[in-house]
Amino acid sequence: MKRAVIYARYSSSSQTEQSIEGQIRVCSEYAKAKGLTIVGEYIDRAISGRTDNRPDFQRLIADCNKHLFEAVIVYRTDRFARNKYDSAIYKRHLRKCNIELHYAAEHIPEGPEGIILESLMEGLAEYYSAELSQKIRRGIRESALKGKATGGNIALGYKIGPDKSFVIDEKEAEAVRMIFDMFVRQKTNAEICEYLNGLGLKTSRGNPFTKSSVPRIIQNEKYIGVYKCGDIRLEDAVPPIISKEVFLMAQKENARRRTSKQAALPRADYLLSGKLFCGHCKRKMTGVSGTGKSGGKFYYYYCPSARYKKGCDKKQVPKDWIEDLVVSETLDHILRPEAVKYIANACYEIQLKDKSGNEEIEFFRRRIAENKKAVSNTLRAIESGVDTMSLPVRLKELEMEGLQLHDELKAAEARKIILTPEHIEFMLMQYAEKGADEQAYKKEIIDCFVSEVYLYDNRLVIYYNINKNHPELAESDLALLESDVFDQRDLSSTIIPVQK
């Protein structure tokens, strides 16, 4: 039996352990049906899937390298990530570690069309997450305009008063003053942390200070009384801990330190990594870089057999050229009417096979009923004349919780909607419009549609995530006999047919 772990997560404080219990129950039942043995659980509470800064998620990714398990089970695609870029990056990491990713409550098969459907579903999850976040932000905007705490980590040196305003915590504030004082006296971050930890002081999260703790504190304008929340910025809305003069001195010192550091060279992202193969020896081509005589950086894909002279003489190709060519050919191939129609129908059939239950929807409906009951009880207590200042505050909290629960229910119900072939065709055609981030756009095209690419001396064969029963859609054979960039050698080199 394969060893598997469960990753569970919920996003907002309006959800409870019941959400986690429901996810674990469904994932456990799925594991039993698939013959997987659960050996561990990773759980993040009240953390959005739009960020990868989740403690147990990062622990899960780190443990992938230790070969403790062979599969990861999550409730749905949006539990793993609601950000398409993060999802692609971490799923690639799982694949490199030979770890399978299973969705317990969504039917996404291992076949080629399943990869495309999964990409479309991730896009929807990201959209509904953004919509939900927008509504929640509107709900807390009123508190932000009054300079009140709206959740999240509290900056070192402050605590929250009864009316949710910021109050100085004198014991922690002394540590903040020490940090600013030592920083402007040009003490290193390491020296500052060593001194504070030696006194037994802790960060706002109760952890020892690290070198990364210092820059966050130094650049936080809250310490001079500035309140910031989204696009809201209020001067003198928070009691200051540091004078503006000291804060300005710290910013000048911080700027001096930044300019003294050598700028790090950007790392190349080889979009065809793991998908590009040498047509001659069938080995995966790897991304490498080199520096020219003028100091410029050059990026290529190499066949390892050719590079280390092990029986293949395929020359390297420029990274950007081959990636642009694959993306261009993929768009021309996938956006053909017959290809779009086939993919849309195939993805639609996959959704119809999804027999998962409505546990998530039922959970939020139950929580909404509980919330309404709590609101009713609180109102009765107020009307009966119970003399306590906490009841109105509690009522407001319950009303805010009710709004968030309704938003979560709406998102859960939207995830149950089956996309029609027409909807899927529309979504596919959006790929015709290049995104603002060109590199991210090309990566999305390759990750979603491209299965394998075989590079010969005079042609390029691309295999797509389309069932092989339709060979005219599943692959494209691009001949480039006229291209000097493609390969500089004599074009009579032996061409070995691709064995699929």
Q: What is residue 91's three-state secondary structure?
A: helix
Angle 359-383/17-34 helices, nearest 10 degrees?
160
Give the least confident one: 283-297, 368-382, 446-460. Answer: 283-297
Residues 6+ apart with CB under 8 A from 304: 283, 284, 285, 286, 310
> What local confidence, expressed as pLDDT, does residue 491 receive?
30
pLDDT band at residue 355 under the 50/70/90 scheme: low
Whether the CB-CB separation of 24 and 75 falls below 8 Å is answered with no
pLDDT band at residue 482 under the 50/70/90 scheme: very low
C-alpha torsion sign, points 191, 194, 195, 196: positive
Q: How many Cβ atoms sit within 10 Å of the Cβ of residue 437?
A: 11
- DSSP classification of residue 222: G
Tell me the residue type at 261: K
Q: Residue written as tokens 């709900």?
A: 139
Q: What is residue 215's three-state secondary structure?
A: helix
In SS3 terms, 27-64 reads as HHHHHHHHCEEEEEEEEECCCCCCCCCCHHHHHHHHHH
Higher pLDDT, 427 or 242: 242
d(CA 441, CA 438): 5
Higher pLDDT, 148 or 126: 148
Q: C-alpha distances in angstroms, 239 versus 166, 168, 227, 247, 330?
A: 7, 7, 10, 14, 57
> pLDDT (tens digit, 9 = 90+) per residue, 284-319?
999 988 877 777 788 999 999 988 888 898 888 999
Over the chain, what is the mean pLDDT?
Answer: 81
Of the candidates 294, 312, 296, the residue with the CA atom closest to the CA atom of residue 304: 312
Structure tokens at 300: 């290529």
Angle 112-145/84-96 helices, nearest 10 degrees?
130
C-alpha torsion sign, points 136, 424, 106, 466: negative
